[in-house]
């Protein structure tokens, strides 16, 4: 089995070198779309034969400062001109055959990325083949590298957690978020909506990030942006696979949705009963709240 999670810095360094070569070769639009009509020069995107990576399902995990539980969990795939992101709430109930009943955000701590991919594949009804793990501090570095992310902050957000070095103090209204304000906006969940409100705010930030990254001037900087993640990004994707995934995403629109469901209690613990895709057999299934506990 090839090593996975310790290759981030080397992988990103290779990506930077490849990216530099691409920039010297031709503009990004030519690399993605081919040479202009009548051109005598054939421009070849070395990532093009890897663009099929867009057909693969990738889970993106964001760990907290301690690197244990995952505050953020998305699946990503590209199909029919759309980059599809599906948010999995952190409190989603998982009855794991290996670890017993737990919340989805604890899967990584218990069994690493393989456990996350195995459980998501089972519940989504389609294989989740790859993972990208980032520490949330990467988001603020990436946002700074892009000059900030413009977001319409929906409400007053204030919270302090000294144990995690978290300080959130945002006023409502459209503004450009940078640095720790980006991380705070992602992680804030101390209101009446809890984790669900946080997921809805994540969609706002992801849309701003996607809009920035898909600008031509930023797409050509993608390898360098990824390299900035350094050791705080770990993945089982190789450099050409990452380039292929970026190529597949080029020119698509973003569609982000949250996995539906409702809260329920089990043994005094609050969980999220997720509305997973219906089984392919079409057979009716019993809801988790009916099997394990009562709904709020």
pLDDT score of 141: 80
Q: Chain-wide mean pLDDT for the chain? A: 75
Is the pLDDT reported for residue 127 higher than 50?
yes
Q: How confident is the model at residue 30 (pLDDT cuts 50, 70, 90)?
A: very low
On whether the pTM is more than 0.85, the answer is: no
Quick check: helix, strand or coil at residue 262? strand
What's the mean pLDDT in 103-112? 94
pLDDT score of 128: 95
Q: How confident is the model at residue 43 (pLDDT cuts 50, 70, 90)?
A: very low
**Residues 243-262 pLDDT 10s:** 778 777 777 888 988 899 99
pLDDT score of 20: 41
- The encoded tokens of residue 242 equal 């990452």
pLDDT score of 242: 77
Q: How confident is the model at residue 61 (pLDDT cuts 50, 70, 90)?
A: very high
Is the pLDDT reported for residue 18 higher than 90?
no
Q: What's the CA gap between 100 and 118, in Å, rounded? A: 14
pLDDT score of 106: 94
**Residues 166-220 pLDDT 10s:** 788 999 999 999 988 888 887 787 776 666 777 778 788 888 887 887 676 776 6
Is the pLDDT reported for residue 70 higher than 50?
yes
- Percentage of the chain beyond pLDDT 90 is 31
pLDDT score of 10: 42
Q: What's the CA gap between 10 and 18, in Å, rounded? A: 13
CB burial string 85-113: b at 16+ within 10 A, e below: bbbbbbbbbbebeeeeebbbbbbbbebeb
pLDDT score of 139: 75
What's the mean pLDDT in 4-28? 42
Distances (CA, A) of 136 to 139, 178, 277: 5, 13, 28
What torsion, rounded to 10 degrees, do the Cα atoms 82, 87, 93, 95 define?
Answer: 40
Most confident of 146-150, 208-212, 266-270, 281-285: 266-270
Alpha helices in 220-267 (DSSP H): 222-227, 239-249
- Give 88-157 as a DSSP string: --TTBEEEETTTEEEEGGGHHHHHHHHHHHHHHHHHHTS---EEEEEETHHHHHHHHHTT-EEEEE-S-E
């Amino acid at each position: 089995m090839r090593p996975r999670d310790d290759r981030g810095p080397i992988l990103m360094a290779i990506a930077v070198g490849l990216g530099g070569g691409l920039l010297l070769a031709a503009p990004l639009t030519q690399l993605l779309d081919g040479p202009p009509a009548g051109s005598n020069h054939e421009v070849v995107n070395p990532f093009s034969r890897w663009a099929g990576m867009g057909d693969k399902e990738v889970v993106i995990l964001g760990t907290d400062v301690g690197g244990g539980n995952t505050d953020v969990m998305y699946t990503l795939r590209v199909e029919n001109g759309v980059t599809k992101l599906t948010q999995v709430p952190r409190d989603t109930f998982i009855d794991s055959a290996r670890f017993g009943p737990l919340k989805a955000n604890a899967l990584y701590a218990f069994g690493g990325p393989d456990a996350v991919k195995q459980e998501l594949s089972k519940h989504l009804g389609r294989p989740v083949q790859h993972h990208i793990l980032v520490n949330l501090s990467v988001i603020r570095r990436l946002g700074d590298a892009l000059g900030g992310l413009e977001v319409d902050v929906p409400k007053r957000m204030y919270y302090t957690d000294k144990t995690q070095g978290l300080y959130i103090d945002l006023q409502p209204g459209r503004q450009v978020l940078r640095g720790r304000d980006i991380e705070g906006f992602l992680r804030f969940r101390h209101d009446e909506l809890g984790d669900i409100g946080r997921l809805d705010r994540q969609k706002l930030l992801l849309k701003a990030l996607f809009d920035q990254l898909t600008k031509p001037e930023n797409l050509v900087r993608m390898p360098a942006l990824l390299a900035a993640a350094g050791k705080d990004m770990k993945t089982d994707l190789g450099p050409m696979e990452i380039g292929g995934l970026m190529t597949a995403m080029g020119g698509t629109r973003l569609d982000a949705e949250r996995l539906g469901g409702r809260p329920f209690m089990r043994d005094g613990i609050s969980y999220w009963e997720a509305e997973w895709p219906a089984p392919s057999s079409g057979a009716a299934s019993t809801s988790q709240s009916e099997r394990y506990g009562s709904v709020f």
